[in-house]
């Protein structure tokens, strides 16, 4: 909780860095580098479980991955992404959010303007990260949101509504940067952008995207800081060749009795 209050205090002072993780080793690396937040996102569905979108992800899958991420992180607060159909009612939301905390999360993320649910969670001492703009759990298409004035106003209103409920931060996904500036200036919670431009209080990317694990470059906002797809492909191809031609295992990698 204290660590999430630190996130609030960073607003307007220091940029907030969040990345997703889905397993122990990646959580350990992120924790060692030192970032502000680890999100166990329901992007898990696409980048780890091979689903077409986030809509097939279950609460059990999210809890399993949150538990193993928590094992890898000593210092970095972990946010569990509440999957679709895990917060249809206040009762369901409370039960499931508590399970996230039990497996090691420090807070949960809720997509959209679910004011009743968010209020109940916050009133029960569960830190909530909001999520506004493109909402993958319900979106019919993955396109920029808030381009026209009406949609931009709806997104702005949603952000200010959930801000009043004391969410500790708000993810802004795929909206024009002038809209995210307007929201960032208007809300007291720090905003964390993904495809939302330069003016947010922090930035988040899906770790697999920024490490270039997929062959496809992904959406415009994704910057690939590595090309792990190429690195891994080369390493596996070399291993295959060396085993086939007898170069591996060599003397150095063999026990001698
Ligand atoms: O599931 C996820 O990874 C997310 C991020 C895109 C913010 O919600």
Confidence of residue 250 (pLDDT cuts 50, 70, 90): very high
* Contacts (Cβ under 8 Å, ≥6 apart) of 187: 159, 160, 163, 170
Angle at 156 between CA 12 and CA 109, to 5 degrees: 70
- 123-130: average pLDDT: 98
Give catalytic status of residue 252 as yes or no. Answer: no
Structural contact between residues 53 and 244, judged by C-beta atoms closer than 8 angstroms: no
d(CA 86, CA 90): 10
Catalytic residue among 91, 102, 116, 173: 173
Confidence of residue 1 (pLDDT cuts 50, 70, 90): low
How many A from CA of 164 to the centre of ligand 1? 22
- Supply the pLDDT for residue 3: 85
If you search the block for the tokens 């003397």, which residue do you land on? 251
Give yes or no for residue 24 having a pLDDT over 70: yes
Whether this model's pTM surpasses 0.85:
yes
Query: Ligand 1 pocket test: which of 132, 173, 203, 219 has the largest number of ligand atoms within 8 Å of its C-beta?
Result: 173
Give yes or no for residue 91 having a pLDDT over 90: yes
């Amino acid at each position: 909780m204290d660590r999430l209050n630190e996130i609030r205090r960073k607003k307007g002072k220091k940029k907030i860095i969040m990345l997703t993780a889905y397993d122990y080793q990646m959580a350990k690396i992120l924790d060692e580098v030192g970032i502000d937040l680890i999100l166990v996102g329901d992007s898990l569905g696409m980048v780890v479980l091979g689903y077409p979108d986030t809509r097939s992800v279950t609460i059990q899958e999210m809890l399993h991955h949150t538990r193993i991420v928590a094992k890898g992180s000593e210092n970095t607060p972990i946010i569990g992404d509440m999957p679709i159909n895990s917060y249809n009612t206040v009762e369901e939301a409370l039960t499931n959010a508590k399970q996230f905390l039990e497996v090691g999360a420090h807070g949960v993320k809720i997509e959209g303007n679910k004011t009743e649910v968010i209020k109940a969670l916050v009133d029960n001492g569960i830190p909530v990260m909001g999520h506004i703009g493109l909402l993958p759990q319900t979106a019919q298409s993955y396109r920029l949101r808030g381009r026209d004035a009406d949609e931009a106003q709806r997104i702005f209103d949603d952000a200010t509504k959930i801000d009043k409920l004391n969410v500790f931060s708000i993810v802004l996904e795929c909206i024009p940067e002038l809209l995210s500036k307007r929201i960032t200036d208007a809300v007291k919670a720090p905003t964390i952008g993904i495809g939302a431009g330069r003016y947010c209080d922090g930035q988040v990317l899906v770790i697999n995207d920024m490490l270039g694990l997929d062959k496809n470059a992904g959406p415009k906002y994704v910057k690939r800081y590595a090309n792990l797809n190429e690195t891994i492909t080369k390493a596996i191809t070399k291993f295959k060749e060396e085993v086939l031609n007898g170069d591996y295992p060599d003397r150095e990698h063999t026990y001698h009795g």
